[in-house]
Structure 1
Amino acid sequence: MTDTGPLDGEVVVLLHGFPQTATSWAGVSARLADAGYRTLAPDQRGYSPGARPRGRRAYRLAELTGDVVALIDRIGTGPVHLIGHDWGATVGWSVAAHHPDRVRTWTAASVPHPAAFSRALRSPDQARRSWYMAFFQVPRLPERVLSRTGAGGPTLLAGAGMDDVALARYRHEMVEGGALPGALGWYRALPFLTPVPRVAVPTAFVWSSGDSAVSRRAADLCGRHVSGPYRFVELGGTHWIPDQQPEAISEAFLAGVTRSG
């Protein structure tokens, strides 16, 4: 886990997505540290070498949510600001919905509220974009494909807009580091996904118009599942917002804190 910024600053917990680790938040952490915040970015279950349980049930959303709540309670500073990207956003939606007493503000990047995404999957556009979610259910084959050099995994990620620096980090952390089976466990636990209630805490949703994985319909539906203060921030660019637009997501967070305060 990375711990950046002043120890007496308000705490921001950063939740990474697939297929990345806490290092994807480096640019955001630096900007928030300059603004006086302490950021904690854990390598989540399946990604951390010390927390890679076997079996897809170990990666149910309830388990992933519990990990974040346990971290917040361990910090012991009271409610935290929460920012999540991709799968980290899905977990963050669940934390904010089920444990609003632990969350001051919630900022989601790329992935909307699970109910919005589920409804959007009924459309051909989102279903086409989400083909990989079915592929990742297949045993062992996704690991082999995503571990290849040249064609295969890197090509798939590059096609989604991941740049060369992030691809090199992916190979080192995910492939050589052995994190792929655990990371894919998050997808393989999708059959056990349970509904996530509406979110009442102050929320910002940041989405890129060039996102190849999440459609505009999914983004537009998100606000229906937030009962508290809500802002939708649309960017250009690709799915990889923390890496490629750290200033934009940092500004969206800071604007939300100002408004909620």
Structure 2
Amino acid sequence: MQNALMHRFVDVNGVRLHIAEQGEGPLVLLLHGWPESWYSWRHQFGALAAAGYRVVAPDQRGYARSEQPSDVASYTLLHLVGDVIALIEELGEERAVLVGHDWGAPVAWTAAMMRPDKVRAVAGLSIPPILPGGMVPPSTTRTLYGENFYQVYFQQPGVADAEFAKDIPESFRRLLVGASGDNPYFDEPRPLVVPDGLGLLDAMPSSPELPVWLTEEDILTYAEDFAPHGEQAFTGAFNWYRNIERNNELLAAFRGRTIDVPALYVVGDRDMVTSLRGPDGGPPVGDLLRGAAGPGNPMSTIAPHMRAPVVLPGCGHWTQQERPAEVNTALLDFLAGIDGPASR
């Protein structure tokens, strides 16, 4: 039995990806978000492997140790879902359970919608199921939140890239603390907005102390994985945002499709995502969660086989890092509901 965490590279869908893997059994793919890597799942490998699963977490295209295609148009959801499906096949598996956090969640939700023959269940952390494009396009977010909304700011080629690459460890420190439930700068979740004339990191002053779930070693691990890309350290990651509008165009034919496999949604009640509205400008995610069991809830309509959402008190955006024990319990309970409680 494979007990140790192992690392290797695989070639899938035209790109070279770094993957971390542990355990044997049914495949569970863990898909990180922005601007993270496989390391964001460091607390999940052991628990899932011990329960009898083969756990694999890639650095997705453009991130950390994986290849960073130069063409901005190489980062659409069709490419990202293609990477996931090709990875399942490269690993010699027929199907997988997908678990995605932040940007990894739209990839997981979209893969489950498009390829239920390959995705037998799906869990999303932080980002709820929004189909078909996965994220609200900038043309809409400008109206909802203004020109300084962080996703609009990311559309400017090279601007956020240079800001974040200037001091990579400090960028991770500010972002990981600033978007967490331990953020000392605001009490309630709110949309992330860039201060006038400044950068996004200026909205998150450097914290002299780290929360208990984050260490200096964690920050350096992230930084060391991104540093080899130099001034382009975060460009691949930002290119995901630069395809949001394109994603909604490319996936227009899938409007009305649903996610027809077992599904789970986990979110912190201090996650800024709970303050955001859907593509139609409807109620914020937090309001939908409070009425999650009600008929007609958009999340239940999109994912009719979704369990009641798991809401983690005091947790911010970095769900599986801030609340690893609770997330592991939720995932193992979800998997047991699919596979039964037997471990290997």
User: Per-residue displacement from partner, 1:181-240 (whole Å, max 9, x unpaired)?
Assistant: 111110111120134632110000001001124437225243331122433110121111
Match of 2:179 in 1: 160
TM-score between the two structures when normalised by the length of structure 2: 0.67
Contact 2:141–2:149 (Cα < 8 Å) also in 1 = no
Cα distance in 1, alignment partners of residues 222 and 303 from structure 2:
33
Alignment of 1:96-107 (within 5 A): 96-107=112-123
User: Per-residue displacement from partner, 1:27-46 (whole Å, max 9, x unpaired)?
Assistant: 10111111111101111111
TM-score between the two structures when normalised by the length of structure 1: 0.87
> Which of 253, 266, 291 is the equivalent residue of 1:206?
266
Worse-matched range after superposition: 192-201 or 138-147: 192-201
Which residue identity does 1:108 align to in structure 2? Answer: G
Match of 1:193 in 2: 247
Task: Let me know the Cα RMSD of the aligned residues.
Answer: 2.8
Cα distance in 2, alignment partners of residues 158 and 51 from structure 1:
27
User: Per-residue displacement from partner, 1:94-152 (whole Å, max 9, x unpaired)?
Assistant: 11000011112211101111248639x9799x747x91111111111101211244976
Cα distance in 2, alignment partners of residues 3 and 97 from structure 1:
25
Cα distance in 2, alignment partners of residues 111 and 172 from structure 1:
27
Alignment of 1:65-104 (within 5 A): 65-104=81-120
Match of 1:247 in 2: 325
Which residue identity does 1:252 align to in structure 2? Answer: A
Q: 1:248: how far off?
A: 1.8
Contact 1:241–1:249 (Cα < 8 Å) also in 2 = yes
Contact 2:172–2:222 (Cα < 8 Å) also in 1 = no
**Is residue 181 from structure 1 mapped to residue 235 from structure 2 by the alignment?**
yes
Cα distance in 2, alignment partners of residues 73 and 154 from structure 1:
36
**Is residue 58 from structure 1 mapped to residue 71 from structure 2 by the alignment?**
no
Higher share in helix: 1
**Is residue 235 from structure 1 mapped to residue 309 from structure 2 by the alignment?**
no
> Which of 137, 149, 155 is the equivalent residue of 1:131?
149
**Is residue 23 from structure 1 mapped to residue 39 from structure 2 by the alignment?**
yes
Contact 1:148–1:154 (Cα < 8 Å) also in 2 = no
Q: Greater Rg, structure 1 or structure 2?
A: 2
Contact 2:310–2:330 (Cα < 8 Å) also in 1 = yes
**Is residue 3 from structure 1 mapped to residue 80 from structure 2 by the alignment?**
no
Q: 1:229 to 1:209 in 2, by over 3 A?
A: closer
Task: For residue 44 of structure 1, give the secondary structure of its aligned residue in structure 2.
Answer: coil
Q: 1:148 to 1:50 in 2, by over 3 A?
A: closer
Contact 1:79–1:103 (Cα < 8 Å) also in 2 = yes
Which residue identity does 1:218 align to in structure 2? Answer: V
Match of 2:13 in 1: none
Cα distance in 2, alignment partners of residues 204 and 62 from structure 1:
22
User: Which of 1 and 2 has higher RCO (CA within 8 Å, sep 6+)?
Assistant: 1
Residue identity (%)? 30
Task: For residue 128 of structure 2, give the secondary structure of its aligned residue in structure 1.
Answer: coil
Q: 1:168 to 1:78 in 2, by over 3 A?
A: same
Cα distance in 1, alignment partners of residues 45 and 173 from structure 2:
26
- What are structure 2's unaligned runs of at least 5 residues? 1-18, 181-210, 277-283, 289-297, 340-344
**Is residue 218 from structure 1 mapped to residue 285 from structure 2 by the alignment?**
yes
Q: 1:10 to 1:132 in 2, by over 3 A?
A: same
Task: For residue 114 of structure 1, give the secondary structure of its aligned residue in structure 2.
Answer: coil
Contact 1:19–1:174 (Cα < 8 Å) also in 2 = no
Which residue identity does 2:304 align to in structure 1? Answer: S
Task: For residue 93 of structure 2, give the secondary structure of its aligned residue in structure 1.
Answer: coil
Cα distance in 2, alignment partners of residues 58 and 72 from structure 1:
20
Cα distance in 1, alignment partners of residues 22 and 104 from structure 2:
19
